[in-house]
Structure 1
Amino acid sequence: MPTIVAFETLTDLFQNVVAKYKNSDKTAFAYKPTADDPYQTITWREVEADVTSIASYLIDQDIQMGDRVAILSENRYEWAVVDLAIQMVGAINVSLYATLPPKQCAYILEDSEAKLFFVSTGIQLKKAIQVFDECDDLTQVIAFDEPKVQDYIEKDYVKLFDTVCAAGSKAEPQHAKELKKRIKRTSPEDVATLIYTSGTTGRPKGAMLTHRNIVSNVKAAHDAISIGDSDRCLSFLPLCHSFERTGGYYAMIAGGAEIYYAESVDTVARNMLEAHPTIVVSVPRLFEKIYNLVTKNVQQGSAIQQSIFNWALSVGERYWKGERGIVSIQKTIADKLVFNKLKERTGGNIKFFVSGGAALPAEIGAFFMSAGLNILEGYGLTETSPVMCCNRYGDEKMGTVGKVINGVTVGIQRLENNEIIASLSGEEYPSELTSEPGEILNRGPNTMKGYWKNEEATQEMIDDEGWLHTGDVGRFVDGRLEITDRIKHMIVNAGGKNIYPGPIEDMFKTSKWIDQLVVVGEKQAYMAALIVPDFETLESHAKQNDISYDSIENLLEKESIINLFSKEVRSFSKELASHEKIRDFRLLPQEFSVETGELTPTLKVKRRVIEDKYGHLIEDIFSGD
């Protein structure tokens, strides 16, 4: 559906939404002051006052158009205020993941030549103080929270957000004319933000996204997905990532939707019950956890309960695939007996989920669709602002990332000779194009301007004809894009066979015994895996079967446990081609996480880190060959 206001820049978007709701008590954002408090709402009038104060302060601190201002923070209201103020004054938002260590923060601050640095908690302030002297252009650090350690605020370059807001409010009359001038001067071609890659290979690179890049993507998202002013979004993916920035923030504002901030990624389940969102933007990991929890509970139930659940799932699948008549009556019964309980656990108001950032296993997507919780899976990169394709509501095809969005053209390039063998634009509907696999390319207004101060990397990514090379392999199937895997993730075995680990790993994620799995076997005679068990299920099994153990490590060494996983791996491997089958594995006592370095902040696996960290286990697997 169309956006609620017209706009060509993010500055326009904010100005026009504020004008629309200025004389109402329309909620813009909501947050929880503490875990025990209910959500507190903020109106657009209040947002305008706060944003204008911070914008005036930025001008007062001599922030010019095109200057960089950095934010190191979890998702919260202040993040939005600072970002909108940055857009108002024509500066550039440089966002940092809250999980970054000080050294990486210093690199991004220095590389971007950021002048001001907004940080959230005392933990983030500590990082800022640690790196301040390394960053030549940095003049000031502004903390959202008042630090508990008095030493921090005794630094003359550290200011508190509330103090800065008050100073900005006082300076408003002095800078009002300049602020209006900058709002008018902001152009669609101006850079709005630098989004740095997670740096899994080499130094992070700052993708320059212009107002036009993001605005075109927001409008195309609204063409494909219904977002309106009666919607409410729960925000928890990092705002410094382009997926949440465009999909869970700007697109929501453009629809007049309310944005409720989760307290953290760990509290999403509870916050859904409190916020009652209609839209949740997430990565597959959330859906995998819900799926595994539900199926685990079903398997622990009686034979009758399992039978009812399986019947309900079958009815739900037939219904979402278009069957009606008697199926409609059966679906009502299935909802009452089974699915309404699941819907209540998501807050009871979900209209649809949006999934991106990584591949959603088709079986898990089909489960949610059958339950009446639609998932709209999409695809894109930071460098494409980010959306290239997405499934439309009522036209979902699990296992694909849907059709190309309006204004964008997606191409498939043969890996062997760089020939473009197929392409589709967002306006080419209906289309039944099916192609062979190749590298996925993008061309359109969503293509980034380039990498900040890195022309060589820009030219490697975007060719002379304007095609952006994603590094992903995929193909068109009946006009929809199907992703295979990353080119760099491809494993070449000893026999020269090309194996993409992503689809194999996705298949294993439906096992109740397996939480995480990474396929290994480069230049080896067969494939193997590093497996993180579902520890809750495993420990429950040990208790029920009187298996004693002193630690998780000790439990994983038990012959009965190894045999259990051997059986599970063999069972799943039956579905794979001979050269793809998992023929050996090792069990890991600790899950992959952002904190321990194996996952990116958007929960993608860092294969190189895992292969280095567990190299001794991989060597042990293949040492006898």
Structure 2
Amino acid sequence: MPTVVAFETLTDLYQNLTKKYENSDKTAFAYKPSPNKAYKTVTWDTVKQDVTAVASYLLEQEVQKDDRIAILSENRYEWMVVDLAIQMVGAINVSLYTTLPPNQCEYILKDSEARIFFVSTGIQLKKAVKVFDNCPDLESIIAFDQPKVKKYMKGDEVKLFDTICAAGMKAEQKVAGELKKRSKSVTTEDVATLIYTSGTTGQPKGAMLTHRNIVSNVKAAHDAIDISEEDRCLSFLPLCHSFERTAGYYAMIAGGAEIYYAESVDTVARNMTEVHPTIVISVPRLFEKIYNLVNKSVKEGSAVQQYIFSWALEVGERYWNGHRGLTALQKTIADRLVFNKLKERTGGRIRFFVSGGAALPPEIGIFFMAAGLNIIEGYGLTETSPVMCCNPYGGEIIGTVGQVLNGITVGIQSLEDNRILAQVSGEDYPTNVTSEAGEILNRGPNTMKGYWKNEEATREMIDEDGWLHTGDVGKFVNGRLKITDRIKHMIVNAGGKNIYPGPIEDMFKTSPWIDQLVVIGEKKTFMAAIIVPDFEALEKYAKQENIEYSNIEELLQKESIQNIYSKEIREFSKELASHEKIRDFRLVANEFTVETGELTPTLKVKRRIIEEKYAYLINDIFENDQD
């Protein structure tokens, strides 16, 4: 569907939206002033006032074109205001994850040579103050919130957001000419943002995304997906990640959709019932949690309830696969008995979810589609701005990440001899292209400019022919891309067999007893797993069976608990090839989290960290392995 305004840069997008909705009551954004308050909506006229104030302040501080301005904040209205102000003055947005420790914040600030640092809460301000003296280019810190601890207001270096907005308003007339000139000077090839990779290994690298990169991707997304002025998006994935930035922010406002900010990742379930969104963009973890909660509820119900649920799921799947007639009538009944309750939990107005960032387990995708809650799965990287492929609404094929977007060419390169096995252009929509698996390549206007101050890493990522090497393995199936796994995640066993752990791990995620699982077995004669149990399910079981224990560690060692997981491993492994089967496992008492270092900010597993942290368990598993 076309965008509601024409634009070639993000600066154009913002300015043309404010013109289109001038003197109207059109909601642009909404947020909660505090947890117990109702959502407060913001019109485009108010957005323009706030953005102009911040942009004027930046010009008063003599911010030059291409200067770097950093933001360390959760998703919130101020984040967007600062970003649009940065685009207006032709500067570069440097985004940081709120989960980063001070030393990583310092690295990014120094590497990007950021001049001004916007931060949100007192927790983030504390980090900023701690690293300020070590960042020679950093001139000031601007806090969105009034800190509770006065010592964080460090001299003249720390200012409050409200204060700088007031200063910017006073300076508006003085800098109006310069602001107009600066906004007109922004070109498609200017860098709009530096998005630093999460650094599963080594130091993070700053991907330089230009206005052309992002704008081309926004327009291609609109060619593939219908986003309109009637839509409302609930935003909770980090705005510093390219998936939320492009798909959940720029693509939404380009379609005239409203963006409501969730209070936090932990409040998404409650916020969905308050906001009643039509579109929610997420990573698979949200869908996995909903799926497991529903399954637990069903298993705790009566035999009749279990039968009804199973019947409804079967009917829903048949309906989704195109069966009508009697199936349509049955689907109406299934909705009333089962699926409408699930839809109410998501706010009751969902048109579709968008899933990205990691593979969506097929069983979970089928469950949501059967319930009438469409999930559009897509694929891309930060370095591709980010979307390369997506399933069209109403034409979803579970197990694939869909069609190549307009303007983009995706290639498959042999892992053995570097031949291009197949390539598909987004304009072709071929249904007859099927290829062997190989590395996925990208070429098109969405390909990043390169890594900031790192030509060597750029050359490693983008070859002489302009192909960006994703490091992911996949293949074309009837013209649609299917992801296998990351090349670096591939396990080679003692017999030389290649094993991709991703699909195996995805399969186990549907177990009601398993929260997280990581496959291990490099150069070993068998595969094993480190498992984070679903602690709620375990503790409930222990209570029912009168199992006494003093802590989780003790519970996990109980023979009856070990037997549960042995049975689960055996049952799921029946679906795997002999060399892929999980032969042993160890249970761990702590969830993998961003804060404890096992997950990236986008919830991808850091395998090396887990292997190091649980080396003692891995050594125990393979103690007698003869490779």
Structure 1 length-normalised TM:
1.00
Residue of structure 2 in register with 1:109 after alignment = 109
The residue correspondences of 1:56-135 to structure 2 (distance < 5 A) are 56-135=56-135
What is the Cα deviation at residue 576 of structure 1?
A: 0.3
| Equivalent-residue separation in structure 1 for 2:316 and 2:282 (angstroms) | 23
| Equivalent-residue separation in structure 2 for 1:267 and 1:604 (angstroms) | 21
Letter in 2 for 1:521: G
Residue of structure 1 in register with 2:51 after alignment = 51
Letter in 2 for 1:172: E
Residue of structure 1 in register with 2:242 after alignment = 242
Give SS of 1:55's match.
Answer: helix
Letter in 1 for 2:417: N
Could you list the structure 1 runs, at least 4 aligned residues long, displaced by more than 3 angstroms after superposition: none
| Equivalent-residue separation in structure 2 for 1:614 and 1:247 (angstroms) | 36
Give SS of 2:133's match.
Answer: helix
Give SS of 1:134's match.
Answer: coil
What is the Cα deviation at residue 564 of structure 1?
A: 1.0
Instruction: Describe the superposition over 1:567-608 as per-residue Cα deviations: whole angstroms up to 9, x where unpaired.
Output: 110000000000000000000111100111101111111111
Residue of structure 2 in register with 1:314 after alignment = 314
| Equivalent-residue separation in structure 1 for 2:218 and 2:383 (angstroms) | 15
What is the Cα deviation at residue 320 of structure 1?
A: 0.8
Residue of structure 2 in register with 1:155 after alignment = 155
Instruction: Describe the superposition over 1:458-513 as per-residue Cα deviations: whole angstroms up to 9, x where unpaired.
Output: 00000000000000000000110000000000000011100000000000000000
| Equivalent-residue separation in structure 2 for 1:598 and 1:433 (angstroms) | 38
Give SS of 1:240's match.
Answer: coil
Residue of structure 2 in register with 1:605 after alignment = 605
What is the Cα deviation at residue 429 of structure 1?
A: 2.1
| Equivalent-residue separation in structure 2 for 1:153 and 1:48 (angstroms) | 29
The residue correspondences of 1:242-391 to structure 2 (distance < 5 A) are 242-391=242-391
| Equivalent-residue separation in structure 1 for 2:108 and 2:456 (angstroms) | 18
Residue of structure 2 in register with 1:422 after alignment = 422
- Indicate if the aligned counterparts of 2:92 and 2:192 stay in contact, CA closer than 8 A: yes
What is the Cα deviation at residue 450 of structure 1?
A: 0.1
| Equivalent-residue separation in structure 1 for 2:363 and 2:174 (angstroms) | 59
| Equivalent-residue separation in structure 2 for 1:462 and 1:131 (angstroms) | 33
Letter in 2 for 1:317: E
Give SS of 2:530's match.
Answer: strand
Give SS of 1:135's match.
Answer: coil
Letter in 1 for 2:158: V
Instruction: Describe the superposition over 1:83-110 as per-residue Cα deviations: whole angstroms up to 9, x where unpaired.
Output: 0000000000000000000000000000
What is the Cα deviation at residue 432 of structure 1?
A: 2.1
Letter in 2 for 1:72: L
Residue of structure 2 in register with 1:141 after alignment = 141
Instruction: Describe the superposition over 1:273-297 as per-residue Cα deviations: whole angstroms up to 9, x where unpaired.
Output: 1111000000000000000000110
Instruction: Describe the superposition over 1:354-395 as per-residue Cα deviations: whole angstroms up to 9, x where unpaired.
Output: 000000000100000000000000000000000000000110
Residue of structure 1 in register with 2:494 after alignment = 494
Residue of structure 2 in register with 1:552 after alignment = 552
| Equivalent-residue separation in structure 1 for 2:431 and 2:302 (angstroms) | 47
Give SS of 2:248's match.
Answer: helix
Letter in 2 for 1:467: W
| Equivalent-residue separation in structure 1 for 2:226 and 2:432 (angstroms) | 24
Instruction: Describe the superposition over 1:190-239 as per-residue Cα deviations: whole angstroms up to 9, x where unpaired.
Output: 00000000011111000000000000000000000111111000000000
| Equivalent-residue separation in structure 1 for 2:525 and 2:540 (angstroms) | 36
- 1:564 corresponds to 2:569: no
What is the Cα deviation at residue 23 of structure 1?
A: 1.7
Letter in 2 for 1:54: V
| Equivalent-residue separation in structure 2 for 1:93 and 1:497 (angstroms) | 44
Letter in 2 for 1:254: A
What is the Cα deviation at residue 183 of structure 1?
A: 1.1
- Indicate if the aligned counterparts of 2:527 and 2:583 stay in contact, CA closer than 8 A: yes
Residue of structure 2 in register with 1:618 after alignment = 618
- 1:214 corresponds to 2:225: no
- Indicate if the aligned counterparts of 2:6 and 2:13 stay in contact, CA closer than 8 A: yes
What is the Cα deviation at residue 153 of structure 1?
A: 2.1
Give SS of 1:93's match.
Answer: strand
The residue correspondences of 1:147-226 to structure 2 (distance < 5 A) are 147-226=147-226
Residue of structure 2 in register with 1:396 after alignment = 396
Give SS of 1:433's match.
Answer: coil
Letter in 2 for 1:245: R
| Equivalent-residue separation in structure 2 for 1:150 and 1:129 (angstroms) | 12
Letter in 2 for 1:564: I
Residue of structure 2 in register with 1:452 after alignment = 452
The alignment of Structure 1 onto Structure 2 pairs a total of residues equal to 625
Residue of structure 1 in register with 2:40 after alignment = 40
Letter in 2 for 1:360: L
Letter in 2 for 1:272: M
- 1:10 corresponds to 2:10: yes
What is the Cα deviation at residue 555 of structure 1?
A: 0.4
| Equivalent-residue separation in structure 1 for 2:496 and 2:431 (angstroms) | 35
* Structure 2 spans left out of the alignment, 5+ residues: none
What is the Cα deviation at residue 155 of structure 1?
A: 2.0
Give SS of 2:55's match.
Answer: helix
Instruction: Describe the superposition over 1:7-60 as per-residue Cα deviations: whole angstroms up to 9, x where unpaired.
Output: 000000000001010120111111111111111111100000000000000000
The residue correspondences of 1:500-511 to structure 2 (distance < 5 A) are 500-511=500-511
Letter in 2 for 1:400: T
Give SS of 1:465's match.
Answer: coil
The residue correspondences of 1:518-533 to structure 2 (distance < 5 A) are 518-533=518-533
Letter in 1 for 2:80: A
Letter in 1 for 2:418: N
- 1:228 corresponds to 2:209: no
* Structure 1 spans left out of the alignment, 5+ residues: none
Letter in 2 for 1:165: C
Residue of structure 2 in register with 1:461 after alignment = 461
| Equivalent-residue separation in structure 2 for 1:251 and 1:75 (angstroms) | 16
Instruction: Describe the superposition over 1:521-570 as per-residue Cα deviations: whole angstroms up to 9, x where unpaired.
Output: 00100000000011111111111111111111110000011011101100
| Equivalent-residue separation in structure 2 for 1:152 and 1:306 (angstroms) | 56
- Indicate if the aligned counterparts of 2:110 and 2:136 stay in contact, CA closer than 8 A: yes
Give SS of 1:13's match.
Answer: helix
What is the Cα deviation at residue 430 of structure 1?
A: 3.9
| Equivalent-residue separation in structure 2 for 1:615 and 1:275 (angstroms) | 45
| Equivalent-residue separation in structure 2 for 1:507 and 1:445 (angstroms) | 35
Give SS of 2:107's match.
Answer: helix
Letter in 2 for 1:129: V
- Indicate if the aligned counterparts of 2:404 and 2:429 stay in contact, CA closer than 8 A: no
Letter in 1 for 2:456: E
| Equivalent-residue separation in structure 2 for 1:455 and 1:361 (angstroms) | 37
What is the Cα deviation at residue 154 of structure 1?
A: 4.4
- Indicate if the aligned counterparts of 2:129 and 2:154 stay in contact, CA closer than 8 A: no
